[in-house]
A and B are shown apart, each in its own frame.
Chain A
Amino acid sequence: MVDVLALGETSGDGLDPITGELVAAARTLGGSVAVALLGDGLAAHGEQAAALGPDSVLLAESPALDGTSIDAYVTAFEQVCRSASPGAVLVGKTPLGQNVGPRTAFRLGAALAQDCTAVRRDGETGEVVASRPVYGGSATAEVAFTGDAPPFIVMRGRVCEPAEPSPSTDANIIRVDVEIAPSDIRARRVESVKQDIQGVRIEDASVIVAGGRGLGGPEPFERLREIADLLGGAVGASRAACDAGWIDHAAQIGLTGKAVAPDLYLTVGISGASQHMAGCSSAKNIVVINKDADANIFQEASYGVVGDWRKVLPAFIETVRELVT
């Protein structure tokens, strides 16, 4: 029996950053924290998770947990939850967590709060309370849970400072037997098609230059790429620009795109709809070039120019080039 169970995630030989973020979030709830890892061959990952400072690490290993079917992960996580009987469950708003969290919650008859930006225990009642943006980010809801099943909380990425790994840890690493039958696998990945990424990955970039509908076409994105290249950054976009086909959907930042937290998020021709801000409001600095002084994005910006990008951008790029080279 653990107080909080966090679904950790692996990435190659290491852990996905969400794992440290979930451990940090779990800590704010108090009590014992367990990290579950699902996969095949997790010994090294288990040590890394232990270093994040939970009380225990639960390893569920099976050859079926090879990334080809979400169903295997749902089946395994349901069994881990039943054996650990946690007081609350945290998962990340990641491609895996977004699916495994809700589906496992339904199997356990549990309720779930999606896309949360904070979680706490109420001082008086001891209840778990989660904060979540709703109506695309126009409002924030504080959500509590009813019933006996453990509340499931899906945490947005990059909203908590991750727990730092430390070499001294006394976390127990426990193997949990899971059984995944062939009949549990209903949907199967048969191919994975990946875009070639020019330069830095958006998720890892410390500088992102993002364009929106105000750019009016695909060509201006070449200018944004110039800036990104000068600054060692990546190019992002609003959904409007992606839907228009000016740039690939993989560049979309926002509620239903990527969540990023760069040091510098430079936007050109983006109005700052709440659904867009949902993906970038953790940026340390938002800088805006927009011709409409009333555009919402100025409210969340540190620096900005009110003006037409056609006139502002060439001089900006030229000066950046002089300054950084």
Chain B
Amino acid sequence: MAVDIIVCVKQVMDPEMPASAFRIDPDAKRAADAPGIPPVINGFDENAVEAALRIKDEVGGTITVLSVGGGHAMDVMKKPLSMGADALVLAQDDAFAELDARATARVLASAVRRIGRFDLILCGRQASDWDNAHVPLGLAEILGLPCLAVAQKIEVIDSSGVIVHSVTQDGYDVIEADMPALVTVSNELGEPRYPTLRGIMAAGRKTPEVWSADDLDIDPDMLEPGVRIVDLYAPESSRQVELVQGEDEADAGRNLAIRLREAGLI
């Protein structure tokens, strides 16, 4: 009962980069590339790769990693291969740069159809650049698949069913569906594993499949944006902090409590 898994990943700018390195390009209405800070694979997508690897460890099967974009940094995109994924497919075309969520879901759907056979599609719950959090849901709708969101655990029960522990406000729901299905993965699943030396060597020998818009028979209408960014700016904070002092740190702690009492906050 081995399962074939497609994991969708996105290359993003590093969300952990220092706040001072974040610049907005007001003309392009996007974040400016941060010189010297390499892009990364979206964090939740790495959780999805980890989820796939755990399933593969358990029941066997294959993992194909799929990404859509205008261009990809190959050393970054090979990370899932070095973690243990089997194959990498890049839907890559100038026409795929800066797609909105709806168009991204459409291109992913075309690429998934071309990959063909699969039991599960795993996606990170949202990408840390545009925080759209609806590409996976759209992909499930386009492909007509059951959609199980925000998983912290995935269990393949037999050749046709999947059980997911889906994070809720105060615990989790156990959700069941038939495969093929799409599951979105959250950080509660646990840290992604590190690439092994053997994995890195194996990844080095693998060449990704690269598919253009033509290869995927993408009609330009499909890529028409549904949303238009009219402005992009840095938010401002209007708050002014009052720093409470004291003779030493303990005294400052005492004074803070007194100050909060005076302000009617406690």
Contacts and interface: CB of A to CB of B under 8 A. Distances in A.
A288 B241 contact: yes
A140 interface: yes
A144 B266 contact: no
Contact of A146 (B132, B226, B257): B226
Interface stretch (A37-45, A98-106, A167-175, A211-219): A98-106
A250 B126 CA distance: 18
A165 interface: no
Interface stretch (B85-93, B97-105, B203-211): B97-105
A111 B100 contact: yes
Given A188-B175, A312-B253, A324-B266, A112 B169 contact: no
Interface stretch (A17-25, A48-56, A294-302): A294-302
Interface stretch (B54-62, B65-73, B134-142): B134-142
A320 interface: yes
B69 to A, nearest CB: 17
Interface string A266-302: 0000000011000000000111110000001011111
A319 interface: yes
B235 A263 contact: no
A316 B178 CA distance: 54
Nearest to B172: A193
A117 to B, nearest CB: 9
A1 interface: no
A187 B175 contact: yes
Interface stretch (A2-10, A26-34, A82-90, A131-139): A131-139
Nearest to A203: B169
Given A103-B140, A139-B234, A256-B125, A316 B168 contact: no
B178 A307 contact: no
Contacts of B258: 319, 323
B38 interface: no
Given A106-B137, A193-B171, A312-B250, A143 B266 contact: no
Contact of B242 (A135, A189, A264, A304): A304
Interface string B114-145: 00000000000110111111100110111001
Contacts, number: 260
Q: Is the interface on chain A under 10, 10 to 19, 20 to 34, or 35 or more residues?
A: 35 or more
A269 to B, nearest CB: 14
B2 interface: no
B243 interface: yes
A190 B260 CA distance: 47
A305 B244 contact: yes
B147 A103 contact: yes
Contacts of A231: 266
Contacts of A320: 257, 260, 266
Nearest to A102: B134
Given A99-B137, A144-B230, A188-B177, A314 B241 contact: no
A198 to B, nearest CB: 12
Interface of B: 13, 15, 19, 22, 24, 29, 31, 100-102, 105, 125-126, 128-134, 137-138, 140-142, 145-149, 152, 163, 165, 167-178, 181, 186-188, 191, 224-235, 237, 239, 241-244, 246, 248-254, 256-261, 263, 265-266
10 closest pairs, A vs B, by CB? A111-B226, A186-B146, A102-B134, A316-B253, A319-B257, A311-B249, A312-B253, A315-B253, A307-B249, A315-B250
